[in-house]
Amino acid sequence: MAYRLRHLNEERVIAVLKAATQKANWVASPSPKGGNARNGRVTGRGVACVAYEGGNGYIALVAEVEVDQASGQVQPKRFVAAVDCGSISNPDGLRNQIEGGVLQGMSRALAEEITWDDRKVTSTDWQSYHTLPLGIPTPVIESVLVDEPLARATGAGETAITLSAAAIGNAIFDATGARIRQVPFTADRVKEALAARG
């Protein structure tokens, strides 16, 4: 977070970053987290922020995850999102947009992937294109609504989708010291990254 604050100059992004990390009780520490075992289950937290489409909404997202280093499974436990979409006319609707966006972004980050063979796309239906299944353990999602009553209304739901993978990826790195740069963060990709860490 400190690195981002040193290099950001967009005041609205700075405001949502501070709001999200304050709500998440962020404590400055080196990443990856020191003292985590190289086996078993470990936890980490990550943050990401964006001025969506250069100014069509502002969001910061903190992700807390648990990584099972034996199986490679990543389980998000908690998200804290702070959103500035200008003037807020419907707070409950905005919270719904944030929660839906975070869950869709989580599905993209952990499961969704287009596949193809040497001629065509092969993930053409719900049997071959995988999303997170119904009934998964749902993480806690907390929203901080940053109201800017004099600003024009901007996007809300899509903003959360765009940075879920970044926040989750940073949390995986914090937990394990393994940096994963290709989504989705499948169990196999996580195990491969864990095996490659120094």
E-strand stretches of 69-171: 74-84, 140-145
- Name residue 68's beta-bridge partners: 41
Q: Strand 140-145 to strand 74-84: parallel, antiparallel, or no bridges (unpaired)? A: parallel
Decide if 11 is catalytic. Answer: no
How would you classify the pairing of strands 41-51 and 58-68? antiparallel
Rounded Cα distance, 36 and 42, in Å:
7
CA distance 152 to 2: 29
- Which residues are annotated as catalytic? 158
